[in-house]
């Protein structure tokens, strides 16, 4: 779970959905959240 300016965020992705295309979306979203994550205070 990430803490961002969006608050606590939990995303559940099915990497097998859409013939595997959802895996790419989940990976891109993970990179985005990693870039915007901040250390909880």
- The answer on pLDDT for 38 being more than 60 is yes
Residue 38 CB: number of other CB atoms within 10 A? 9
Residue pLDDT, tens place only, 5-26: 666 777 788 878 878 888 888 8
**Strands annotated E in 1-41:** 2-4, 7-9
State the pTM of this model: 0.57
């Amino acid at each position: 779970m990430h803490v961002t300016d969006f608050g606590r965020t939990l995303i559940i992705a099915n990497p097998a959905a859409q013939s595997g295309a959802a895996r790419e979306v989940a990976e891109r979203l993970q990179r985005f959240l990693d870039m915007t994550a901040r250390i909880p205070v």
